[in-house]
């Protein structure tokens, strides 16, 4: 039951995570088969023909009795599992969303209705993940290993949406997001013919970061591009040594970026 408690409430923007937790819960309680297995079909009772001999008819009756018993057991098992799955799903969805989903007899059909309703949300979520992947930048917080693992985790979230990224592409994304202190390291990788996998990438990046730390006394201050200029500092440095400054009336100051029209 603890696995059911870990299922997040479906609110609309977390469909992928909710679906994964639902699948995991069904597997752990061993009812996942009901999602892919249709309801058992009731066997048709035999009808005795006028030309049937007693022995042949008795055999057919025994066979049907065996089929009927097997059907009753399988049908009861299927109905129970289907009922449990529907109850779990409905109790992990916000009431407003549950009310917008038509009632279904099977958990398979109900999951399909939910999936079709949240297809748009999944596309939006995928776009957000891709934007985050291509804009991520390593700043030194947490260490390079944790950073690469976080990038890999973001990539894994795209797999349920059929947007699997190859490890080679992710490796280049990681390299593109590293600060300029890693430039020589990245160039050395690009000129060698052998390609790395993710484990090799993490091992080599950690080794390179440790090497840079040892070279810089145990710490690294990764530089960031800073386009803002400290105008007060520039003005003070220019006026240094020129005697006391006369009081100037304050004026509204603003910075004009390059290629910006006023």
Instruction: Judge whether residue 241 has pLDDT over 60.
Output: no
Range scoring the smallest mean pLDDT among 101-115, 221-235, 239-253: 239-253
User: What confidence score (pLDDT) does residue 204 get?
Assistant: 94
Cα 193 to Cα 174, 183, 201, 203: the distances in Å are 18, 18, 15, 18
Instruction: Judge whether residue 239 has pLDDT over 50.
Output: no
Sign of the dihedral through C-alpha 16, 19, 25, 30:
negative
Over residues 114-122, mean pLDDT: 73
Residue 135: φ, ψ to 5°: -105, -5
Residue 206: φ, ψ to 5°: -60, -45
Tens digits of per-residue pLDDT, 165-203?
889 999 999 999 999 999 999 999 999 899 999 999 999
Tens digits of per-residue pLDDT, 123-169?
777 788 889 899 999 988 888 999 999 899 888 878 767 788 889 99
**Separation CA 167–CA 165 (nearest Å):** 6
DSSP lists the bridge partners of residue 93 as: 10
User: What confidence score (pLDDT) does residue 228 get?
Assistant: 44
Are residues 110 and 86 in contact, defined by beta-carbon separation less than 8 angstroms? Answer: yes
Nearest-5° angle of CA 85, CA 28, CA 88?
Answer: 25
Q: Which of 160, 112, 12, 18 is nearest to 4 (CA)?
A: 18
Instruction: Judge whether residue 245 has pLDDT over 80.
Output: no
Are residues 189 and 175 in contact, defined by beta-carbon separation less than 8 angstroms? Answer: yes
User: What confidence score (pLDDT) does residue 81 get?
Assistant: 95
Nearest-5° angle of CA 116, CA 113, CA 80?
Answer: 145
User: What confidence score (pLDDT) does residue 250 get?
Assistant: 45
Report the chain's mean pLDDT, rounded to a whole number: 81
Q: What is the pTM of this model?
A: 0.48
């Amino acid at each position: 039951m603890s696995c059911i408690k870990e299922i997040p409430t479906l609110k609309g923007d977390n469909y992928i995570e909710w679906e994964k937790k639902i699948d995991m819960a069904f597997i752990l309680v061993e009812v996942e088969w009901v999602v892919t297995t249709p309801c058992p079909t009731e066997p048709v009772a035999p009808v005795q023909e006028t030309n049937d001999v007693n022995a042949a008819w008795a055999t057919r009756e025994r066979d049907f009795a065996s089929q009927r018993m097997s059907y009753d057991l399988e049908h009861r098992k299927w109905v129970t599992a289907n009922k449990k799955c529907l109850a779990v799903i409905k109790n992990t969805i916000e009431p407003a969303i549950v009310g917008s989903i038509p009632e279904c007899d099977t958990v398979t059909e109900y999951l399909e209705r939910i999936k079709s309703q949240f297809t748009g949300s999944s596309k939006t979520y995928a776009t957000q993940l891709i934007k985050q992947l291509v804009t991520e930048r390593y700043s030194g917080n947490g260490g390079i290993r944790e950073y690469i693992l976080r990038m890999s985790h973001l990539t894994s979230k795209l797999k349920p949406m059929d947007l699997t990224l190859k490890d080679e592409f992710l490796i280049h994304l990681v390299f593109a997001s590293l600060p300029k202190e890693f430039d020589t390291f990245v160039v050395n990788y690009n000129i060698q013919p052998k390609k790395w996998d993710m484990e090799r990438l993490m091992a080599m990046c950690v080794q390179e970061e440790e090497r840079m730390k040892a070279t810089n006394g145990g710490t690294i201050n990764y530089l960031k591009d800073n386009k803002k200029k400290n105008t007060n500092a520039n003005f003070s440095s220019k006026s240094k040594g020129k005697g006391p400054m006369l009081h100037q009336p304050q004026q509204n100051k603003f910075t004009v970026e390059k290629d910006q029209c006023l």
